[in-house]
């Protein structure tokens, strides 16, 4: 199924395939691939429907853009389709039919579906005429109301049994036809099928191939021939000749498609009126800011109770296991490794689900494009695209769903740049670390009489992370993730009421695919970290029973020693000379290692290291311990300067396996997560170093 | 004149699209072929990007991109909208 973006393909797809759909990826490419099965009347076996990402044309410059072509023709490992369903929008018929015309030129079995027929009043479109002009079946439907779906299913099953071959061909100038035949000859036999197909392929090559394109799998002779042609007639002139010929044909035929003369502005009028408010320079912007704040606030407020619920559920589960199994390493593996690991994954679900829900509503209603429009100017200063705004904003809650949200961006390069910068935003997991440090090491006083030091510091950390991410975006965009940024050319679709069932099902499908793939990595890493901090076990101390309160202290002390002697602890000691210039000691080193599983784990790991036991919500005992901790010479280990250095380290370091795992999944390679980890760690170390050593020089 | 020089409410017809190849191709494929009518709707709060209507569709492009679209003001300024969506203006 192909079609322009925003024609309601997803709703149509969902209506046809119901619950039998899956979200996945195309190999080597970070584009969503939706496949579903449907049972059609009069056909025995079920059919498979593949939803091809929306596109305006088959011409391509990159592997992502080539997907539509490969899907339609069945090249390069893609199966040859038995039928191509082209979905068009009733309100923009001519422009949408441009794609259908391209498919028709290839002479593949085609069926045209005119969606959103309910939005064009007075039934002014003559679907039968459209079908007759193309020589294929044409069915008007409304995915929103369900109108026309019986006819659609029947038409599809008939088309599968008896393939409809399109007969519409634009007329190209003779000179162009000669060039087309020349290029067609340059394709090797495996690519050629019949005259029309070969010509269409040549046309595609002439309007796609360039010196610096990123196309994959083009036969070298064909590429050479096309580049040769371009040396005589420029690629641009070729594009213009071909595209204007196609539109000339469509514009000529247009009067036949409309039974009655429709009012072009009827459908757009409601949208226009809404946009006069929502895109108003002042009010529109204000409304936008309010909406974003609300969205962001709900993301926190609504997910918090769910997160606590999940945490207590898993805590209870661990408690159960602790009760029923004998105390040994296996039990610990289960509780802290497996249950802890799965918990670490599931705990992301509330925020992911909510974020996908919001994004789904924004996209389906059409407002998302307006967000990109309003923010483009600002985002562009950073070398980012307007569409990067929502993912960046989501990064304030959690980088994981934010990175998943970059899928709304078309171009790989923009998506990658956004993914590399989002982890620098102050996510909610850093807050417990900041809270602990600020409360332990900075006085609850005011400076300048009125401004609380502690509050200012917190705000300062947010501002700091925003500044660094802006600078990082600017730098990375010019160096590592260089590339022509695409022009904006954003379509602002008409406002539509999203279909709840479609939005919800997309949300579930995306969340499920996250759980499947990122989840396994996070689980494994949690187990590994647990092992590092639990082994080797210290030799069993002789059990002398003491009074309960004393026993508790003894137990905690034993636990602290156990950590010190574990591999993790040894690693911490190994790290100590490296992190000493930042003002850290080995205990903080262990905390940092533990924080890789999840940043909040820093607090609980520190609790263990200091023999506090379960830190939980009340970290006062830990704070006290940190304040009073002294070195052998009596000087305090932790000073406000150390605290600042530590916070800055946390602000910039990539201490989140979940983030790395999601980036790996989204970029389909190890290179980018490693780069992300590397550059952020370097940045964190450098900043921390400057702050600590600079502070010492200044006498703090 | 270029599209960037139009004023809000202007209805213009495309004469030519300049700029780099993929930009031009994308605009052409969206139906902005020479002769097509564009209605200029307005700008974003910071002056950039611009909003326009073309062939029944709302598009948004950057000012730097609009500078590369040569247009001419059509006679039917503020006249009723063309009856058939996307009809080309006869040259």
Instruction: With respect to residue A136, please indicate whether it lies within any of the assigned structural domains.
Output: yes
Give percent above pLDDT 90 in chain A.
21
* pLDDT interval class at A343 (50, 70, 90): confident
Instruction: With respect to residue A406, please indicate whether it lies within any of the assigned structural domains.
Output: no
pLDDT at A112: 96
Distance from CA of B72 to the nearest CA of A (A): 19
Answer yes or no: are the C-beta atoms of A259 and A125 closer than 8 Å: yes
pLDDT at residue A545 is higher than 90: no
What tens digit of pLDDT does each residue of A239-258 get?
999 999 999 999 999 888 88
Residue A210's closest CA among B32, B64, B30, B23? B23
What tens digit of pLDDT does each residue of A382-420 get?
778 888 888 888 888 788 888 888 877 777 788 889 999
Mean pLDDT of chain A: 82
> Which residues of chain A have a CB within 8 Å of the CB of B55?
92, 94-95
pLDDT at A621: 66
Give percent above pLDDT 70 in chain A.
89
* pLDDT interval class at A29 (50, 70, 90): low
Distance from CA of B28 to the nearest CA of A (A): 7
What tens digit of pLDDT does each residue of A276-314 get?
888 887 888 888 888 888 887 777 778 778 888 888 888
CATH assignment of the domain containing B13: 2.30.30.90
Q: Which residue of A has its CA nearest to B27?
A: A489
Alpha carbon separation from B12 to A89, B30, B35, B78, B88 (Å, rounded): 25, 16, 9, 11, 11
Distance CA A700, CA A98 (A): 69
- Domain hosting B11: range is 3-73
pLDDT at residue A541 is higher than 60: no
Q: What is the ipTM of this complex?
A: 0.82
Average pLDDT over residues A509-515: 77
> Which residues of chain B have a CB within 8 Å of the CB of A243?
25, 28-29, 33
Distance CA A443, CA A431 (A): 18
Tokens of residue B15, six digits:
């004469």
Distance from CA of A481 to the nearest CA of B (A): 20
Is A61 within 8 Å of B85 when comparing Cβ atoms? no
pLDDT at residue A680 is higher than 90: yes
> Which residues of chain B have a CB within 8 Å of the CB of A92?
55-57, 85
When comparing pLDDT for A530 and A648, which is higher?
A: A648
Sheet containing strand A110-115, strands side by side: A2-3, A84-89, A110-115, A138-140
Q: How many CB atoms lie within 10 A of CB A632?
A: 5
pLDDT at A583: 82
Distance from CA of A517 to the nearest CA of B (A): 35
Instruction: With respect to residue B79, please indicate whether it lies within any of the assigned structural domains.
Output: no
A–B: how many Cβ contacts below 8 A? 141
Helices (H), A366-499: 367-381, 389-394, 399-405, 412-421, 431-441, 453-478
pLDDT at A138: 95
pLDDT at residue B71 is higher than 60: yes
> Which residues of chain B have a CB within 8 Å of the CB of A264?
56, 81-86
Distance from CA of A427 to the nearest CA of B (A): 29
Distance from CA of A656 to the nearest CA of B (A): 37
pLDDT at residue A144 is higher than 50: yes
Tokens of residue A59, six digits:
């011409």
> Which residues of chain A have a CB within 8 Å of the CB of B60?
369, 373, 376, 488-492
Nearest to B60 among A98, A236, A373 (CB): A373
Any CB–CB contact under 8 A between A122 and chain B?
no
Instruction: With respect to residue B52, please indicate whether it lies within any of the assigned structural domains.
Output: yes
Nearest to B56 among A59, A91, A380 (CB): A91
Is A264 within 8 Å of B47 when comparing Cβ atoms? no
What tens digit of pLDDT does each residue of A84-141 get?
999 999 888 999 999 999 999 999 999 999 998 887 765 678 889 999 999 999 999 9
Instruction: With respect to residue A111, please indicate whether it lies within any of the assigned structural domains.
Output: yes
Instruction: With respect to residue A178, please indicate whether it lies within any of the assigned structural domains.
Output: no
What tens digit of pLDDT does each residue of A570-608 get?
888 888 888 888 888 888 888 888 787 777 677 767 766
Q: Where is mean pLDDT largest: A247-256, A496-505, A540-549, A614-623? A: A247-256
What tens digit of pLDDT does each residue of A105-120 get?
999 999 999 998 887 7
pLDDT at A675: 93
| Domain tally, chain A | 1
When comparing pLDDT for A102 and A453, which is higher?
A: A102
Average pLDDT over residues A366-381: 86
Is A265 within 8 Å of B28 when comparing Cβ atoms? no
pLDDT at A506: 79
Distance CA A102, CA B28 (A): 14
pLDDT at B91: 36
| Domain tally, chain B | 1
Any CB–CB contact under 8 A between A207 and chain B?
yes
Alpha carbon separation from A111 to A199, A215, A247 (Å, rounded): 21, 28, 20
Give the least confident one: A315-329, A445-459, A551-565.
A551-565
Instruction: With respect to residue B82, please indicate whether it lies within any of the assigned structural domains.
Output: no
For chain B, the residues whose C-beta falls within 8 A of a C-beta of chain A are 21-31, 33-34, 41-49, 51, 53, 55-62, 65, 81-88
Any CB–CB contact under 8 A between A251 and chain B?
yes
pLDDT at residue B79 is higher than 60: no
Which string of DSSP letters, residue by residue, matches A44-109?
Answer: SS-EEEEEPPP-S-S--SSHHHHHHHHHHHT-TTPPPPS-EEEEEEGGGHHHHHHHHHHHHHTT--
Average pLDDT over residues A515-535: 75
Distance from CA of B41 to the nearest CA of A (A): 9
What tens digit of pLDDT does each residue of B27-43 get?
999 999 999 999 998 88
Tell me the residues of chain A between 466 and 505 that have a Cβ less than 8 Å away from chain B: 486-494
What tens digit of pLDDT does each residue of A30-71 get?
567 788 888 887 877 889 999 998 889 999 887 778 889 999
Instruction: With respect to residue B91, please indicate whether it lies within any of the assigned structural domains.
Output: no
- Domain hosting A162: range is 2-172+238-257
Any CB–CB contact under 8 A between A211 and chain B?
no
pLDDT at residue B24 is higher than 80: yes
CATH assignment of the domain containing A54: 3.40.50.300
Any CB–CB contact under 8 A between A102 and chain B?
no
What tens digit of pLDDT does each residue of A178-192 get?
999 989 999 988 888
Nearest to B85 among A56, A262, A285 (CB): A262
pLDDT at residue A431 is higher than 90: no
């Amino acid at each position: 199924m192909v079609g322009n973006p925003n024609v309601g393909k997803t709703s149509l797809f969902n209506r046809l395939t119901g619950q039998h759909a899956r979200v996945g990826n195309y190999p080597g490419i970070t584009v969503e691939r939706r496949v579903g099965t449907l049972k059609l009347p009069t056909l025995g076996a079920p059919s498979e429907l593949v939803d091809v990402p929306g596109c305006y044309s088959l011409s391509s410059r990159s592997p992502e853009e080539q997907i539509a072509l490969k899907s339609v023709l069945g090249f390069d490992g893609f199966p040859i389709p038995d039928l191509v369903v082209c979905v068009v929008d009733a309100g923009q018929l001519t422009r949408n039919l441009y794609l259908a015309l391209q498919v028709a030129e290839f002479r593949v079995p085609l069926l045209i579906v005119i969606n959103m027929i309910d939005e064009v009043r007075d039934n002014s479109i003559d679907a039968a005429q459209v079908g007759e002009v193309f020589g294929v079946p044409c069915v008007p439907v409304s995915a929103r109301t369900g109108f026309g779906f019986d006819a659609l299913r029947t038409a599809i099953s008939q088309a599968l049994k008896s393939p409809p071959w399109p007969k519409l061909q634009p007329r190209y100038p003779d000179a162009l036809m000669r060039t087309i035949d020349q290029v067609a000859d340059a394709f090797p036999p495996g690519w050629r099928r019949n005259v029309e197909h070969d010509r269409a392929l040549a046309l595609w090559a002439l309007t796609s191939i360039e010196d610096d394109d990123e196309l994959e799998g083009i036969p070298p002779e064909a590429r050479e021939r096309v580049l040769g042609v371009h040396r005589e007639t420029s690629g641009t002139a070729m594009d213009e000749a071909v595209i204007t010929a196609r539109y000339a044909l469509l514009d000529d035929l247009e009067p036949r498609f409309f039974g009655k003369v429709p009012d072009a502005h009827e459908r757009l009028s409601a949208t226009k009126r809404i946009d006069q408010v929502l895109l108003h320079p002042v009010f529109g912007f204000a409304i936008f800011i309010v909406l974003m704040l609300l969205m962001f606030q709900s993301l926190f407020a609504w997910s918090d109770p769910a997160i606590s619920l999940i945490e207590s559920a898993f805590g209870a589960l661990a408690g159960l296991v602790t009760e029923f199994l004998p105390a040994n390493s296996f039990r610990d593996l289960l509780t802290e490794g497996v249950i802890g690991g799965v918990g670490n994954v599931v705990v992301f679900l509330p925020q992911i689900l909510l974020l996908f829900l919001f994004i789904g509503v924004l996209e389906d209603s059409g407002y998302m494009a307006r967000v990109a429009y309003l923010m483009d100017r600002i985002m562009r200063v950073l070398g980012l695209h307007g569409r990067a705004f929502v993912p960046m904003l989501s990064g304030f809650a959690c980088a994981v769903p934010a990175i998943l949200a970059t899928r709304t961006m078309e171009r790989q390069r923009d998506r990658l740049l956004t993914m590399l910068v989002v982890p620098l935003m102050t996510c909610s997991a850093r807050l417990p670390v900041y809270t602990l440090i600020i409360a332990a090491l900075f006085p609850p006083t005011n400076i300048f009489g009125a401004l609380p030091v502690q509050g200012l510091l917190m705000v300062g950390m947010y501002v700091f992370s925003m500044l660094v991410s802006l600078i990082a975006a600017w730098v990375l965009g010019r160096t590592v993730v260089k590339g022509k940024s695409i022009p904006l050319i954003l379509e602002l679709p008409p406002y539509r009421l999203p279909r709840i069932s479609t939005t919800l099902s997309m949300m579930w499908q995306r969340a499920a695919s996250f759980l499947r793939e990122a989840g396994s990595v996070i689980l494994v890493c949690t187990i590994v970290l647990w092992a590092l901090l639990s082994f080797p076990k210290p030799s069993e101390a002789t059990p002398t029973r003491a009074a309960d309160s004393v026993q508790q202290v003894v137990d905690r002390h034993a636990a602290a020693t156990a950590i010190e002697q574990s591999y993790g602890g040894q690693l911490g000691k190994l790290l100590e000379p490296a992190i000493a210039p930042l003002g850290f000691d080995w205990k903080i080193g262990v905390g940092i290692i533990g924080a890789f599983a999840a940043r909040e784990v820093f607090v609980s790991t520190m609790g263990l290291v200091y023999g506090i036991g379960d830190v939980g919500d009340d970290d006062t005992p830990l704070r006290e311990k940190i304040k009073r901790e002294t070195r052998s010479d009596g000087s305090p280990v932790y000073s406000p300067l150390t605290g600042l250095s530590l916070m800055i380290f946390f602000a910039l370091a990539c201490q989140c396996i979940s983030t790395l795992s999601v980036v790996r999944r989204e970029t389909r390679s190890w290179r980018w997560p490693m780069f992300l980890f590397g550059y952020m760690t370097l940045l964190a170390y450098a900043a921390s170093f400057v702050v600590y050593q600079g502070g010492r020089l200044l006498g703090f | 004149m270029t599209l960037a020089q139009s004023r809000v409410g202007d209805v213009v017809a495309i004469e030519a699209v300049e700029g780099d190849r993929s930009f031009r191709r994308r605009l052409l494929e969206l139906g902005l072929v020479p002769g097509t009518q564009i209605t200029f709707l307005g700008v974003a709060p910071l002056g950039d990007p611009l909003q326009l209507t073309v062939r029944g569709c709302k598009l948004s492009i950057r000012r730097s991109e609009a500078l590369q679209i040569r247009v001419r003001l059509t006679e039917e300024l503020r006249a009723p909208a063309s009856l058939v969506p996307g009809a080309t203006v006869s040259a």
